[in-house]
Amino acid sequence: MKIIPFNAIRPVRDKANLFASRSYLTYSDKTIAEKINNNPYTFLQIINPDFNLEKKLSGKEKFKLVKKKFQEFCNNNILISDKNNSFYLYEQGCNLISYIGIIGLVSSDDYNNNNIKKHENTIHSREKMFLEYLEETRFQADAILLAHKNNNYLNKIYKKIKKSRAEYEFTTTDKVLHKLWKISNKTIVDNITLEFEKIKKVYIADGHHRCASTSKLKNNNNMMSLLISEEQLRISSFNRLVKTSIKDSELFNKLEVKFYIKKTNLDVPKKQNEIIMFKSNQKYLLQPKKDSYIDNEICRLGVSILFNNILFPILNIKDERKTDKIEFCANNIDFSKVKNTMNNKSYNIAFFLKPITINEIKDVADNNKYMPPKSTYIEPKLRSGLTIYKF
């Protein structure tokens, strides 16, 4: 596995907490407006350059303004460029859960040669849009999250680096502590590079579209990534909240064809092929009957069993990505909050799935197959703009 140091563009130390943001997709329009109007340093200013314009822009017209705004931040010394090629040690922690890994560049060759393994299919329109964005702006501000086998030698290097003062150390409003160390010592950089050469493959945890788009770029063969050991990943499933007019009697009659049904107090099923259904203020355990699914690495997953046996044939949902009948929420959210969402938005049924394991993800990826949409919610979630790769 080839990992390459680079000279990142990043916020000056006293503005790192003000600049870095969550993915813009996680903010409502109202929240984006509040942040842009109240924080002149936020990365959201760069990727929403048309926010205060009467005419909203799109495509290349907008991306040109993004590039211009990015250059303004550089010219005003809000963003600085490191002089030496470096790696960056990043740590994130909250409530006794922490993640640590190296930010560097990985080669598109490793992606194209299947050394960077994928487990999700990409949507062509999103892939094309992000490729156009990269071609026009020529910078990457969101690291792709890659997972590798645990490496004790790398762990020792990280432990030693952490004894020095972090370049950044700040807590965000979601109570997450972020730390970043710059690694420019040539001996340490070389040792990290050589150690990653021993790692033959890594797995995409988050960033399938960014990987696919970046690999198609002309005049650039690298993509900025955060590489962490796979056992650090926190993998949750996506609950499905569904709106339907089906009567209870019809629903249960159809479910009984494929499932054994019994009442339960469980919030999450114990087995991967089981489903918890919440309906009419009661939870039910749905256990698939023999021959209700094909026993392979994809079809045995709860998310596949749910779609193939319930969502599509019973609730008439043909594509989970193209319907307003479903809302997805990660199962790291309290059950009480799920109930509130159901009541507030008139959802009739909720389905809860057992989280997929890293070994199940690897099994799918190693067999060059793809999981269904919204199969996993993987943490850590990274901030945009802590390090920026300009190419």
Domain boundaries, position 333: 238-354
DSSP string of 177-200, one letter each residue: EEEEEEE--HHHHHHHHHHHHT--
242 and 127 in a common domain: no
Any idea what the CATH number is for the domain that residue 128 is in?
3.90.1530.10
Cα–Cα distance for residue pair 106/228, rounded to 1 Å: 13
Q: Evaluate whether residue 43 is within a structural domain.
A: no
118 and 153 in a common domain: yes
Question: Which pLDDT score, from 0 to 100, does residue 105 have?
Answer: 99
Question: Which pLDDT score, from 0 to 100, does residue 52 have?
Answer: 86
Q: Evaluate whether residue 25 is within a structural domain.
A: no
Question: Which pLDDT score, from 0 to 100, does residue 339 have?
Answer: 87
339 and 199 in a common domain: no
114 and 221 in a common domain: yes
Cα–Cα distance for residue pair 74/70, rounded to 1 Å: 6
The torsion angle over the Cα atoms of residues 75, 78, 79 and 84, rounded to 10 degrees, is: 100
312 and 349 in a common domain: yes
Query: Please, which residues have CB within 8 angstroms of residue 28's CB and are 6 or more apart in sequence?
Result: none
Question: Which pLDDT score, from 0 to 100, does residue 25 have?
Answer: 82
Chain segment 332-377, per-residue pLDDT in tens: 778 888 888 898 898 999 999 999 999 999 999 999 999 998 999 9
Q: Evaluate whether residue 326 is within a structural domain.
A: yes
147 and 7 in a common domain: yes
Question: Which pLDDT score, from 0 to 100, does residue 148 have?
Answer: 98
185 and 280 in a common domain: no
Question: Which pLDDT score, from 0 to 100, does residue 331 have?
Answer: 76
Q: Residues of the chain whose pLDDT is less than 70?
A: none
Q: Evaluate whether residue 105 is within a structural domain.
A: yes
249 and 146 in a common domain: no
203 and 162 in a common domain: yes
CB-CB neighbours of 299 under 10 Å: 14
CB-CB neighbours of 9 under 10 Å: 19
Number of independent structural domains in the chain: 2
For residue 139, the surrounding DSSP H or E stretch is strand 139-140
Strand partners, 177: 93, 171
Question: Which pLDDT score, from 0 to 100, does residue 132 have?
Answer: 98
Q: What is the mean pLDDT of the chain?
A: 96
Look up residue 329 and give its amino acid.
C
Nearest to 328 by CA among 360, 353, 297: 353
Q: Evaluate whether residue 112 is within a structural domain.
A: yes
Q: Evaluate whether residue 251 is within a structural domain.
A: yes
Token pair recorded at residue 239: 């609950």
Q: Evaluate whether residue 167 is within a structural domain.
A: yes
Any idea what the CATH number is for the domain that residue 252 is in?
3.30.1760
325 and 243 in a common domain: yes
